[in-house]
Amino acid sequence: MGKYLAALAVSGPLYMILLFFVETNTFWKLKTRFADFWTKQKLATCKVALVPEDQDVAKEAKMIQTNLGQLCEKNPLVVKEMSKIYVKKVALLAVNKVSFTVQAQECFGLLGLNGAGKSSIFTMLTGEKPITSGDAFIKGLSISSDVGKVRKWIGYCPQFDALLNFMTGREMLVMYARIRGIPERHISVCVDQIVDDLAMDTYADELVKTYSGGNKRKLSASIALIGEPALIFLDEPSTGMDPVARRLFWNAVGWVRESGKAIIITSHSMEECEALCTRLAIMVQGQFKCLGSPQHLKSKFGSGYSLRAKVRSEGQQEALQEFKAFVDLTFSGSVLEDEHQGMVQYHLPGHNLTWAKVFGILEQAKKKYMLEDYSVSQVSLEDIFLSFANPVPLVKGEDQQEQAE
């Protein structure tokens, strides 16, 4: 038995020491430092395109640089020059010195193409992956050094559903309510309320594995909202939802925001961003290209108006040609974007044009050119997004940025 006792005497303390290192996250810290060393070495080979920084983005970064302490006390989230580099065959800069704040009762939107760095920001803010450089503060606590304390303030709906197939939706909500520390006597009321708000009554007691994709997204969003965390991350939460469920979800997010919570949401739906976001940023290749409220971005980058007009069917071709000539003559620099079955769409330049002037001109032309109806609107948020989201390679390969995401 001597050799077995000797092996036990050696392996016992060895595994105890190993367990100590695991529990204190020593290996994770060493891995982070080792990764940071190699990322800095690899960064020298990463060619970053230098682009002029938007004035609003620079102003936000400067404000955080000079008033970091005060902002951390007042705001649920402060991000200071946060960057993420993935080390593979080449250094891949997924997020490049992003700085922003999110206030209480604010819904902050992140817009960008696939691979722009939105999900990379979420993985760093939730502590899933380490921050390469910079830092972020939630309720005044640093994510880099206090990630365990930070997570109790966070609600997170990931891009891909992380659900247990052999539990019902109601059971999962009860489980997360207990994890959130909601008193047992209040759990049933909280769960019933959120099930009712998102119209999940009919399938709340069925196994998750029987859910459709849209219903799984509703459950994931419900888990993020339950317990009223101070900061809520929603990564494309309404993907796959039907229109009714999406509208109910928007209402629920609006109520949560008005209760004093801070929300960060990513979405490819411009309609959703306009309905929910009080401020938003458009990301391209890991950088913020613009920052502000939807109306501010429309006023700053969406110069001009969009005109849609439909000519009556009687004598349509002749009247249509006359109306097109009238628009070209009256609105210098106008661009015909679409023409189909008597309907035309123009982009009117915004120089020296006001709403009153445009409507006044078109009201006078309505009878003369047999217009059945017309509409004038600002350039949409989607048009502004498309103008920024021009895929220009940031590093050696265009597909490498998508791979990083």
pLDDT band at 392 (very low <50, low <70, confident <90, very high): very low
What is the pLDDT of the chain when averaged over all its residues?
81
What pLDDT, in 10s, does the model give residues 103-124?
988 999 988 888 888 888 988 8
What pLDDT, in 10s, does the model give residues 248-272?
888 888 888 888 889 999 888 888 8
> Which of the two residues, 206 and 24, has the higher pLDDT score?
206
pLDDT band at 388 (very low <50, low <70, confident <90, very high): confident
Asked if the model's pLDDT at residue 90 lies above 70, the reply is no
What pLDDT, in 10s, does the model give residues 193-218?
888 888 888 888 899 999 888 889 88
- CA angle at 321 for the pair 318 and 322, rounded to the nearest 5°: 85
> Which of the two residues, 340 and 166, has the higher pLDDT score?
166
Check the CA dihedral 249-252-257-262 and report its sign. negative
CA–CA separation, 196 and 134 (whole Å): 41
CA–CA separation, 284 and 116 (whole Å): 5
Mean pLDDT of 4-26: 88
**Contacts of 362 by beta carbon, 8 Å cutoff, 6+ apart:** 307, 309, 371, 374, 376
Whole-model pTM: value is 0.73
- Single-letter amino acid, residue 77: L
